[in-house]
Each structure stands twice: as C-alpha cells, then as structure tokens.
C-alpha cells in the first residue's frame, strides 16, 4: 500500500509491503520525499527503507533479520528551447547505502554503497 501526502511544495510517500516465505510474513516500510525543488533547476529525492526478512533468506525459517537503506537522487535540469521535440533533459546523480537484504530494483543482496 502506498500513501501520498502533499504539503505545500513537499511530496511525501509512505509504503508498506510484505515478504513471504513458506509459512511466515515479514514487513517492510519506506518513507520518501519526492521531487523537492532546491532551486529552479535542481531537484532532490530522498528515501529511507527498513525491512524484516527471513534469516539467511531461508524459505523455511521463522527467524528474521532487520535491514535498511537510504537513497538519494539529485537532478539538474537543462532547458532546450531550440529543439521542438524535447523540452529539456536532466543530469542525474544518485547514491544508495543499504544493509544486507532484498530491496526492489536493487540487484545486490549484500551490504553496499553505490
């Protein structure tokens, strides 16, 4: 389930999701700030994740571990007034730090900074 909240210029999202193995459910949460304009051309996104997952990713265990991640993205927009088909483009720079665990759209199950 995703909940979106808009307060003035701040777009906040919150979601909860569950992981399942053979007999158990494990919970995960995220809270984020999306498309926050630092200036006319500089935009930031910031998300925090926390989860509980099966220990050693074991399909049969009821034991779990907690993990989390923080990711951020900065976008700098360039306008292209002379190109009819393109209004503009952006240069994006993103960082993530995550502990061991599964996070959608991340290929690494181990702890890493990227």
- HSE-up of 3 (CA within 13 Å, CB side)? 7
Report yes or no on whether pTM surpasses 0.75. Answer: yes
Residue 52 is encoded by which pair of tokens? 């509980």
pLDDT digit string (tens) for 20-29? 999 999 999 9
User: In the predicted model, what is the mean pLDDT of residues 82-109?
Assistant: 88
> According to the model, what pLDDT value does residue 59 have?
94
How many other CB atoms sit within 10 Å of the CB of residue 13? 15
When the pLDDT of each residue in the chain is averaged and rounded to a whole number, the result is: 92
Per domain, the residue ranges of the chain are 2-113
- Whether the pLDDT of residue 31 is over 80: the answer is yes
Percentage helix, strand, coil, to 5, in the chain? 5, 65, 35
Of residues 31, 41, 18, the one with CA closest to residue 92: 41
- Whether the pLDDT of residue 61 is over 90: the answer is yes
């Amino acid at each position: 389930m995703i909940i979106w909240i808009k307060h003035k210029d701040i777009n906040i999202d919150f979601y909860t999701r569950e992981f399942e193995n053979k007999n158990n459910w494990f919970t995960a949460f995220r809270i984020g700030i999306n498309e926050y304009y630092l200036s006319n051309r500089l935009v930031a996104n910031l998300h925090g994740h926390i989860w509980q997952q099966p220990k050693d990713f074991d399909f049969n265990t009821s034991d779990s571990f907690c993990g989390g991640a923080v990711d951020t993205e900065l976008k700098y927009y360039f306008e292209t007034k002379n190109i009819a088909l393109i209004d503009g483009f952006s240069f994006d720079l993103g960082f993530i730090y995550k502990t061991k665990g599964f996070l959608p759209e991340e290929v690494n199950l181990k702890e890493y900074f990227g």
